[in-house]
Amino acid sequence: MTAAAAVLALLGPLAAPAAADPSADEVRKRLKTAAHQLEVVVEQYNDLRLEVKRGHQEADRLRARIAPLERTAQARSSEVGTIAAAAYRTGRAANVIGLLHSGSPQALGDKLAMLEALGTQRGRAIEALAAANRDVAAAQEGLNALAAKERTQGAKLLAKKRHIEAEIARLDALRFDLGISDLPPILEDPPALPPGAASAAVRFAYAQLGKPYEWGASGPRGYDCSGLTAAAWRAAGVNLPHNARAQYGAVAHIGRGQLRPGDLVFYYGNIQHVGLYVGGGRIIHAPQHGERIRFDRADYQPVHGYGRPRR
């Protein structure tokens, strides 16, 4: 035993057994998890873009409302200035002073009334202009806050996105080494549907089958989940926001038994995914990074709810 111990000491510690390579199923599972994480980030980024867009629209509405106030105030101010200048040139200001000493109650009352009206009018114009300027300043402050939020959150989301994409690239390489390949997309002709907006949306979705998932995209070469559903309904003349949660807030909510082709199916508790129902218990959707637009069962993931876009 002493001799054996000496030999082991000379040889050094035994090497640990090499970790077994992950199985194809494990690689697929890890890919799916990483891609799902990326989709969450994409929808957060889409939500942030919508928030900033709404801020700009609100500022535009404020400016449109303020512009007439500014023009009115400026016109009144110019009118007051013109009257004052005319009075100075013609000497009417001196006449007013004379009237104050003329002892004529009627002339004095008329002039005081004119001066009071002039002062009130000018005061209102100045106050209107000041209020307009306050509204513009508030809108600009809101815009600046939104821009700062976009820069801060956008940088965080971009950093997270790059981290997840790096993980997906590593797993893609491992999948390639193991010879794992995705099945080709199933292509079909759209079903015969009654003419209308829903039929147009379904036909559009069928025409996108096989195109790649592309984060933040709404076509024509690729789409993310909410980009596909927004584009499908845009082709039908209905505008939907490019964000799954925002789309859920924009549609009429329906039950599972009410589903018709063209309706939307929303997934996960915090609404991270959306697909377009095409009938027969199936959806067409842009699944996630590394995959192509395809069919899936409507209940392929936990369903949050169902919605019908308002025509």
Residue 98 · residue 104 · CB < 8 Å: no
Q: What is the DSSP secondary-structure string of 25-68?
A: HHHHHHHHHHHHHHHHHHHHHHHHHHHHHHHHHHHHHHHHHHHH
Instruction: Tell me the average confidence (pLDDT) per consecutive run of 10 residues in the chain, 311 residues long.
Output: 42 48 77 81 83 76 70 65 59 51 55 60 65 73 77 81 80 72 74 92 96 91 96 97 96 96 95 96 92 94 96 80
Q: Around Cβ 199, how many Cβ atoms within 10 Å?
A: 17
What type of residue sits at position 175?
R
Of 233, 208, 220, 234, which is closest to residue 286 (Cα–Cα)?
208
Q: How far apart are CA 181 and CA 183, in angstroms?
A: 7
Dihedral sign computed on CA atoms, order 45, 47, 50, 54:
negative
- Hey, what's the torsion of the CAs at 220, 223, 229, 235, to 10 degrees? 0
Q: Two tokens at 86?
A: 């005319």
Beta strand 303-308 pairing with 252-254 = antiparallel
The number of C-alpha atoms within 13 Å of 46 and in the hemisphere containing its C-beta is 28
Domain boundaries, the chain: 24-177, 197-308
pLDDT tens per residue, range 272-297:
999 999 999 999 999 988 789 999 99
- Fold of the CATH domain 197-308: endopeptidase fold (from Nostoc punctiforme) (3.90.1720)
| CA distance to 66, 209, 210, 211, 218, per residue, from 223 (Å) | 39, 11, 11, 8, 5
Q: Output the pLDDT for position 90.
A: 55
Q: Output the pLDDT for position 307.
A: 98
Of 255, 257, 205, which is closest to residue 230 (Cα–Cα)?
205
Phi and psi based region of residue 251 (left: phi greater than 0; alpha: psi -120 to 50; beta: remaining): beta
Q: Output the pLDDT for position 116.
A: 62
Q: Output the pLDDT for position 8.
A: 37
Look at the block and give the residue holding tokens 């199933």: 186
- 273 secondary structure, DSSP code: E
Q: Output the pLDDT for position 167.
A: 77
End-to-end CA distance of the chain: 87
Q: Around Cβ 308, how many Cβ atoms within 10 Å?
A: 17
Please tell me the CATH code under which domain 24-177 is placed.
1.10.287.1490
Q: Output the pLDDT for position 3.
A: 44
Q: Output the pLDDT for position 88.
A: 57
Q: Output the pLDDT for position 64.
A: 74
